[in-house]
Structure 1
Amino acid sequence: MDFHLLYGRSELRVTVPPSIKVREIVKHPMPILPDGDRPLRQAFAEPIGSKPLAELARGRDNACILICDITRPVPNGRILPPLIDTLIEAGIDRQRILILVATGLHRPNEGEELRELIGSDDIFSSIRIENHFARDREAHIDLGSTSGGIPIGIDRRFYEADLRLVTGLVEPHFMAGYSGGRKVVAPGVAYQDTILTFHTAQVLEHPCAANCVMAGNPLHQAQMEIVKRIGEIYAVNVVIDDKRRLGRVTFGEIEASHLAAVDFMRRYAEIDVERRYRTIVTSAGGYPLDRTYYQTVKGMVSPLDILEPGGTIIIASECSEGMGSREFVAAQQEFCRLGMDRFMRMLNGRDKALIDEWQTEMLVKPLRQGSIQLYTTNLSEQDLQKTGVAWIASLSEAIAASTSRHNDPDIAVIPEGPYVVPRFRPPD
């Protein structure tokens, strides 16, 4: 039997013998919106919890639009043209519109990469586009602290804008429950101390800081406090299917429009599975998510609910840009040097995380439950030694070895990786 995994900009074909029984776990079929601007303009005209976009924009002096960085497959080329046209038609001068790339602590997006991110040559050449830099203290305004003591620093360009708009992709997120909405603000355009404080082990080890969980999620709760402290924000949230086609658009007040998109996405991305598996084969989601090993960790965490304790996760990730940031590499080196228990004791003793070490902390979660094997074609031997997991040269051979080792021919395959979250739901 053959199956396919998302890998880079294409797919990997994997062949297994008939003796191995494959259960593919994919999104439920999603209704697809028609091409063109109409679905976007309809969402702008029929908002959730706010006035229509044209009314909101009328009389405003300027606007700041947040967009996700290159690590998210947001269809900006489809969202931004009708969004900006609506602002201009309502009277905001083109020169007074800023697109701000919500990088969080990721690197900036520039040059041809920025053009690809924007997805429209007309927007790229006619609208001011800038990156957020979380480490620049003077670029942020101090808004006090959350009830949990998290300092709130927000990019001045966004906070001081007359009309604040957020665009985002709603998908399962392994810490915040679901991405999109408030997450594009914090950590998207937050100061580094804000980001480092709500990424501590005390927050991320909470049982509700998990995929598809928002009720009681301390990260989500902190994000909502932050957006409420900022004040008036409106959001465009989109949902896409496994072919990256648009399935839903919501516009309106940031919390209400986000929750509506989340409610829609739950029906398609959360998949009930009646048993657990000793062998799970998955991907890191393909391009652009699998450009680094840093992002690959998301695909390791997503299937945990259906992993039999002691089982094996086999994951394919292109890692075309290598490991990720130098801070993440340093965290991985410490993890490999100290081991799981000592590494976690070190993190639990901090009241502020180090940059990007939280991704290594999330790697600990699947390693507590089983083993991980990585297939990639772009990490050096030196880098592979820093991954903290085993490297495999062949997916087919690794699958055969795992089913033999566990004496179980049944495997679960998740072609789309972290964009799908299987839930263990035994039959009644």
Structure 2
Amino acid sequence: MQCSLRYGRGELTITLPDDADVHLIRKPEMPTLEDPVAAVHAAFKRPVTASDVPTVTLKQRAAQASSACIAICDITRPVPNHLFLRPLIETLREAGVPADRITIVVATGLHRPNLGPELAELIGDPWVLEQTTIVNHDATCDSDHVDLGKTPTRGTPVKIDRRFAQADLRIATGLVEPHFMAGYSGGRKVIAPGLAHADTIKTFHNHAFMSDPEARNCNLDENPLHQEQLEIVRMIGGAYALNTVIDEQRQLSFVNFGEITASHQQAVNVIGRYCRVEVPHAYDTVVTSAAGYPLDKTYYQTVKGMVGPMEILRPGGDLIIASQCSEGVGSPAFMDAQRRLTQLGPSDFLATLAGKPLADADEWQSQMQTKVMQRGRIHLYSSLAAEQRMLTGVEPTEDIDATIRQSLRRHGKRSVAVIPEGPYVIPFVGDERVPPIGTTMGSAR
């Protein structure tokens, strides 16, 4: 049997043994919008509001504003910016917001800036590039941020890009999908960490936050990152959001606009019906991807694809992941964290993180990888060079088909789970009780 995994800008075909019991895990078919741009305009006219707030259309709200700032996700997310940025900007201008007072900020968090051809690809519309001021957020530039104090619950220092925080009209745009720390992406997450200062990001990505069992895929209840993000939104005086949901072919399935928390929750309710997929039992062999381009540009983002299927991986099992990693491992900071992880091993590495109020940049991704390392064996099919593979801390494979066959032989089982879309699908076990995430290989049954 042959299956295809998302890999780079295309697909990777894998061949499974004829006698394998293959469970292909993907989202149920999602409806798509026949006229996406019309749906965007309709969303502006029917905004989602908090329960005690009267409905005001985008144009009515914009008529009261003298400036607007639009936050967009960086290149690592397949957000359909080409469908909504021009309608959004045109609506603001028609309402009276001066063109030179509308700014787009790329919400990079601590990621690198998106420039040149990459920025053009991200925006997806030459008109927007020509008509609008576009800047990249810089989390390390103190003067770019306004200090709003600390969150009331956990004391996270809140410093947010002043171009967004001080705009009359603040709009966060993005894609709502599973997120392995914050539950779901989009909405409040575009603001923090997207537009946050390094001190803010490093605080609510420290060891305590990352080790909280509620900081996981598809969970907002008692999720400490989500709770901090909501407090940060309140501290800047609120915001609006344009939320999108896409199907497996990355066509627009849903779009809404409105008050950031209420509209994001509505989008979560939509994608949550599709991205959580029930399976009958756990597996010793799980094959997945990092969702292809743009998410699999680096190994850093690949960790999301590893964490996604953890709930259905039996302790001691094999997680086999395909990720092109066309841009290498990731940032210098992440490479340093991975170097420490590979030298110390998961347990000793985690011991160095415990108690630190400020995480080092990107070491949270390495911490998330340890959860999978303690669960089972990780095998990576990628284009990484040999010296880069050494920093991953996982087992490289040049032949993914052979690795699958070896795993089936090792466990004496014929059952294999295949997740073509990687971290955009979060499988869970139905009736069978699986040891909780974090159970180590020593508990294999």
- Range class of TM-score, shorter chain: over 0.9
> Does 2:389 match 1:388?
no
The equivalent of 1:46 in structure 2 is 46
Question: Partners of 2:231 and 2:291 in 1: how far apart?
Answer: 30
Spell out the pairing of 1:30-69 with structure 2 (5 A cutoff): 30-49=30-49, 50-69=55-74
SS of 2:380's equivalent in the other structure is strand
- Among 379, 398, 403, which residue is 2:403 paired with? 398
Q: Identify if the C-alpha distance between structure 1 residues 427 and 407 changes in structure 2 by more than 3 Å, giving closer, same or farther.
A: closer
- Among 309, 316, 325, which residue is 1:310 paired with? 316
> Does 2:247 match 1:241?
yes
Cα shift readout 1:3-51 (whole Å, capped 9, x = no counterpart): 0000000001111221112111001111101134100011111111052
Deviation of the 1:235 alpha carbon: 0.3
The equivalent of 2:438 in structure 1 is none
Question: Partners of 1:191 and 1:234 in 2: how far apart?
Answer: 21
Contact 1:73 1:288 in 2 (8 A): yes
The equivalent of 2:78 in structure 1 is 73
SS of 2:330's equivalent in the other structure is coil
> Does 2:267 match 1:269?
no
The equivalent of 1:26 in structure 2 is 26
Cα shift readout 1:218-255 (whole Å, capped 9, x = no counterpart): 00000000000001300000000000000111110000
Question: Partners of 1:111 and 1:34 in 2: how far apart?
Answer: 32
Question: Partners of 2:319 and 2:57 in 1: how far apart?
Answer: 46
Cα shift readout 1:74-99 (whole Å, capped 9, x = no counterpart): 00000101111111111112221100
> Does 2:376 match 1:340?
no
Amino acid in structure 2 at the alignment position of 1:395: I
Amino acid in structure 2 at the alignment position of 1:418: P
SS of 1:308's equivalent in the other structure is strand
SS of 1:260's equivalent in the other structure is helix
Spell out the pairing of 1:321-340 with structure 2 (5 A cutoff): 321-340=327-346
Contact 1:51 1:252 in 2 (8 A): no
Cα shift readout 1:56-90 (whole Å, capped 9, x = no counterpart): 10131111000000000000000101111111111
Cα shift readout 1:271-321 (whole Å, capped 9, x = no counterpart): 011100000000001000000000000000000111111101000000000
- Among 76, 89, 93, which residue is 1:88 paired with? 93
Cα shift readout 1:306-357 (whole Å, capped 9, x = no counterpart): 1111101000000000000000000000011111111001111311100000
> Does 2:174 match 1:168?
yes
Q: After TM superposition, what 4+ stretches of structure 1 lie above 2 angstroms from structure 2?
A: none
Question: Partners of 2:289 and 2:35 in 1: how far apart?
Answer: 28
> Does 2:106 match 1:104?
no
Question: Partners of 2:309 and 2:56 in 1: how far apart?
Answer: 40
The equivalent of 1:152 in structure 2 is 158
- Among 196, 205, 211, which residue is 1:199 paired with? 205
The equivalent of 1:257 in structure 2 is 263
**What are the ranges of 5 or more consecutive residues in structure 1 without an aligned counterpart?**
none
The equivalent of 1:408 in structure 2 is 413
The equivalent of 1:11 in structure 2 is 11
Amino acid in structure 2 at the alignment position of 1:9: R
Question: Partners of 1:11 and 1:94 in 2: how far apart?
Answer: 41
Contact 1:233 1:254 in 2 (8 A): yes
SS of 1:235's equivalent in the other structure is strand
Question: Partners of 2:64 and 2:348 in 1: how far apart?
Answer: 57
Question: Partners of 2:428 and 2:56 in 1: how far apart?
Answer: 37
The equivalent of 1:143 in structure 2 is 148
Tell me the number of residue pairs that the alignment of Structure 1 and Structure 2 aligns: 427
Question: Partners of 1:427 and 1:385 in 2: how far apart?
Answer: 36
Cα shift readout 1:89-137 (whole Å, capped 9, x = no counterpart): 1111222110000000000000010000000011011110000000001
> Does 2:329 match 1:354?
no
SS of 1:14's equivalent in the other structure is strand
Cα shift readout 1:383-421 (whole Å, capped 9, x = no counterpart): 111100000011110100000001111100000000000
Compute the TM-score of the two structures, normalised by the length of structure 1: 0.99
Amino acid in structure 2 at the alignment position of 1:15: T
Question: Partners of 2:22 and 2:99 in 1: how far apart?
Answer: 53
- Among 410, 417, 424, which residue is 1:419 paired with? 424
Question: Partners of 1:232 and 1:210 in 2: how far apart?
Answer: 25
Amino acid in structure 1 at the alignment position of 2:404: I
Question: Partners of 2:158 and 2:430 in 1: how far apart?
Answer: 39
Spell out the pairing of 1:368-383 with structure 2 (5 A cutoff): 368-377=374-383, 379-383=384-388
Contact 2:208 2:355 in 1 (8 A): no
Question: Partners of 1:396 and 1:159 in 2: how far apart?
Answer: 50
SS of 2:106's equivalent in the other structure is strand
The equivalent of 1:285 in structure 2 is 291
Question: Partners of 1:349 and 1:167 in 2: how far apart?
Answer: 34
Deviation of the 1:427 alpha carbon: 6.8
The equivalent of 2:136 in structure 1 is 131
Question: Partners of 1:138 and 1:128 in 2: how far apart?
Answer: 19
SS of 2:374's equivalent in the other structure is helix
Q: Identify if the C-alpha distance between structure 1 residues 352 and 338 changes in structure 2 by more than 3 Å, giving closer, same or farther.
A: same
The equivalent of 1:214 in structure 2 is 220
- Indicate the percent of aligned positions where both proteins have the same amino acid: 52
